[in-house]
Amino acid sequence: MEDVDAVDAVDAAGLDFWSFVALANRRLAHEYGFRHQLATEVLLTLNRASDLVTYDLEAAVHRPRGRSWSAFRLLFVVWLAGPLEPTSAARLTGMSRAAVSNLVKTLVAEGMLDRAPDERDGRSVRLSLTEAGHEEMVSVFREHNEREFGWTNALTETEQRILVMLLGKLITSRAEFGTRSRK
C-alpha cells in the first residue's frame, strides 16, 4: 500500500486542476464504485470558478481599499436594497446573522454604515449607507464591475445568459432534496 501512496504523491505534484478532476473521476468510479462523477465534476468546477473569481475581486479591488469580500457584499446589498434590517441583509448576502452583526459593528465604526432604530419596530434596527459609504460604493463598483466584465468577457452574451439560467436552476432546485442553507 505504501508503494501506491508514494506513486500517487509523486504523480500529484504534476497535477493541475483539470487532470485532478479526471483522476478523481477515474478513482471514484473504478476504485470506489461511485456513480455520479459528472455531478462531482460540475461542483468541483463550480467551486473552483467561484473561488478564483472571488479571490481575484477581493485581491485586485477590495483589499487594496482595506475591505474584505464580506464587507463589500454587505455594503453592496445595503447600497442597492437598503435601508434594511440585518436579518434581510444576512439573507441577501448569504452570510450568517452573526457575521453580518460583526461586520456592521466595524462598518459603523468606520463611518460606512448607519444603524438606526426601525420606525415600525423599536426592537429592530435598519441599516443604511452613510454619505461616505455611498461615495465609496459608487467608486469601488466602477472598478469591480470592470473586473467582472473581464471575467465574463470570455463568454458571449448568450453564453452568459445560459450560465445564469443554469446556475439559477441549480439554486432553485435545491429544495427538492432537502439542502441546507443559511437562514
pLDDT value, residue 44: 95
Under DSSP, the state recorded for 126 is E
Amino acid at 112: M
In contact, 112 and 75? CB cutoff 8 Å = yes
| CA torsion angle 38 41 42 44 (round to 10) | 150
Please identify which residue in the block is written with the cell numbers 473569481: 53
Number of C-beta neighbours around residue 104 at 10 A: 20
pLDDT value, residue 13: 82
pLDDT value, residue 72: 98
Report residue 167 CA to chain centroid gap.
13
pLDDT digits (tens, 9 = 90+) for 51-97: 999 999 999 999 999 999 999 999 999 999 989 999 999 999 999 99
pLDDT value, residue 166: 96
Mean pLDDT of 112-139: 92
Mean pLDDT of 21-32: 93
